[in-house]
Amino acid sequence: MAAGSARIVRYILFAFFFLAVLYFVSNSSYESVQQLKPSSFGVGKGESTSTKPDDVGGVSSSWGSKPDESITKGTAPKPAAGTPKQYEDLAEAPMALTPSDQGWDELLGTAPGPRMNATFVSLARNSDVWEIARSIRQVEDRFNRRYNYDWVFLNDKPFDATFKKVTSSLVSGKTHYGEIPHEHWSFPDHIDQDKARKVREDMAQRKIIYGDSISYRHMCRFESGFFFRQPLMLNYEWYWRVEPSIELFCDVHYDPFRFMAENKKKYSFVLSLYEYVETIPTLWDSVKKFMKNYPEHIVEGNSMGFLSDDGGENYNHCHFWSNFEVGNLEWLRSKAYVDFFESLDLDGGFFYERWGDAPVHSIAAGLLLKKEELHFFNDIAYYHVPFTHCPTGEKTRLDLRCHCNPKDNFDWKGYSCTSRFFDVNGYEKPEGYENQQD
Ligand SMILES: Nc1nc2c(ncn2[C@@H]2O[C@H](COP(=O)(O)OP(=O)(O)O)[C@@H](O)[C@H]2O)c(=O)[nH]1
Ligand SMILES: *[C@@H]1O[C@H](CO)[C@@H](O)[C@H](O)[C@H]1NC(C)=O
Ligand SMILES: [Mg+2]
């Protein structure tokens, strides 16, 4: 009996000792948490440096003096060039929970290096806002969040407040909104309206895509001859065209504008294909007339071999797809290009047929530029319905963290002209292209 109760006392003492140790340990760790708190609260709200305007719609930037039809607005402040602020002691870094907290805009830092005199440009309707938003988000995530280039939006009608708010919240550079003047989005006087209407009715019957559309024709003529001469575009030397609902599948690690400048490139593409013949039956006749009237504009060492299989007699319908373009605006504003556009425009094919800006730009790039001035961006992976450019070569795709399916790559398929571009230039095709030909 006595031995039994002594054992119980021993158990009780042991339990007390255990509880005491537990209390001591938990208490001291509680104190150490308490000690951290003041310093982690110390930085934050009170020291906010964000100056992002709350009401984007009402803010005007002073970028150049603009005509009435365009509104220019500044958005978020650009982070300073260089690496992001690093805290020596990571425990000291504040947690930015709202846009006014310090550190909110410090994502992975601004890319070092010079910036080119360049802008993104999108032609869009107010109703395109959510589709262009998707495109912008991808361009920003894959490239521009580290470069902060500006973005110009053009429209034949005034942009509404929603369009401006949404797009300027997504773009890391400055955003500018321009309204296209009527002369750049209407029938020129020399167009016979009856003839143009009959063409639209006929094309509607033949179910030619956009064949009955007037606005699509204005769009194609505008992109062919006027976007680069809009007052807002005169502020830049380089452009990257972005359409609604496109996708970018890989990181863009370097600055394509700077690549173009340093390598003396003037025009670039990611997808090429054969044009739908019914939309351009007399385009090449018009081009031949231009070549005869302006021999001085046809450059030696051009890419005629990309456009024609018989030395220029006939067009093979190959063109670069112009919904993606990185290009030089000074070239488009040159006498050679403007003479080319005006010569074509007088022949009326934008309305008497349905000439697209893609073959127009491509033929100009093929004849007015040296072949070394054209560039194929294999490493910019891109989708515009219904075609995908996904880089050939697994190593490239992994290095660039691509999310496209290589099977979707259009480059080496029968309906693409990219193979021909490589042949004309004597470029070696990337490893693995043979396995992507169908
Ligand atoms: N402002 C404006 N933009 C247009 C109009 N029609 C087309 N666009 C834009 O022109 C570009 C080409 O039009 P889209 O419908 O994508 O033609 P697709 O790519 O040839 O099928 C896109 O950036 C459109 O947002 C229009 O009537 N007004
Ligand atoms: C950018 O290019 C445009 C068009 O050539 C020019 O007018 C403007 O002065 C340039 N801006 C800068 C900062 O070089
Ligand atoms: Mg499109």
**Residue ranges around ligand 1 (CB below 6 Å):** 122-125, 128, 155-156, 215, 219, 243-244, 323
How close is the Cα of 129 to the center of ligand 3, in Å?
A: 13
User: What percentage of the chain has pLDDT greater than the value 90?
Assistant: 72
Mean pLDDT (the chain, rounded): 85
Q: Nearest bound ligand to CA 261?
A: 2
Residue 324 confidence (pLDDT) above 70: yes
**43 DSSP 8-state letter:** S
Taking the centre of ligand 1 as the mean of its atom positions, its distance from the CA of residue 123, in whole angstroms, is: 7
The string of DSSP codes covering 120-180 is EEEE--GGGHHHHHHHHHHHHHHTGGGT--EEEEEESSPPPHHHHHHHHHH-SS-EEEEEP
Mutate to test the pocket of ligand 1, among 70, 120, 121, 123 (most ligand atoms within 8 A of CB): 123
Amino acid at 428: E
In this structure, the residue with its CA closest to atom 18 of ligand 1 is: 323
- The residue whose CA has the least distance to atom 8 of ligand 2 is 235
Task: Please tell me what DSSP assigns to residue 427.
Answer: P
- Residue 238 Cα to ligand 2 midpoint, Å, equals 10
Whole-number Å distance between alpha carbons of 417 and 411: 8
SS3 383: strand
Q: What is the pLDDT of residues 173-223, one digit of tens each?
A: 999 999 999 999 999 999 999 999 999 999 999 999 999 999 999 999 999
> What pLDDT score was predicted for residue 36?
37
Q: Is 275 among the catalytic positions?
A: no
pLDDT band for position 32 (cuts 50, 70, 90): very low
Who has greater pLDDT, 399 or 106?
399
DSSP state string for 300-348: TT--HHHH-SSTTSS---EEE-TTSEEEEHHHHTSHHHHHHHHHHHHHT
Residue whose CA lies nearest to ligand 2 atom number 12: 117
pLDDT band per the 50, 70, 90 thresholds, residue 16: low
Comparing 54-63, 257-266, 374-383, the range with the smallest average pLDDT is 54-63
Number of the ligand 2 atom closest to the C-alpha atom of 235:
3
pLDDT at 356 over 80: yes
**Which tops the pLDDT comparison, 69 or 365?**
365
pLDDT for the residue 438? 78
Q: How confident is the model at residue 92 (pLDDT cuts 50, 70, 90)?
A: confident
The pLDDT value given to residue 21: 57
249: CB partners within 8 A, 6+ apart: 381, 382, 383, 388, 390, 402, 403, 404
Number of other residues whose CB lies within 10 A of the CB of residue 14: 10
Residue 358: name the closest of 255, 271, 231 by CA: 271
Q: Give the span between the Cα atoms of 251 and 139, in whole angstroms.
A: 9
With 50 as the cut, is the pLDDT of residue 43 above it?
Answer: no
Q: Look at 15 and 165; give whichever has higher pLDDT.
A: 165
Quick: pLDDT tens for 250-270: 999 999 999 999 999 999 999
CA distance linking residue 152 with residue 121, whole number of Å: 5
Ligand nearest to the CA of 328: 2
Please compute Rg for the chain using Cα positions. Answer: 30
Q: Is the pLDDT of residue 65 over 70?
A: no
What's residue 107's pLDDT? 57
With bands split at pLDDT 50, 70 and 90, how would you rate the model's confidence at 47? very low
User: In 148-303, which residue ranges form alpha helices assigned H by DSSP?
Assistant: 161-170, 193-205, 214-225, 256-262, 283-293
Q: What is the pLDDT of residue 97?
A: 73
Mean of the pLDDT values across residues 119-147? Answer: 97
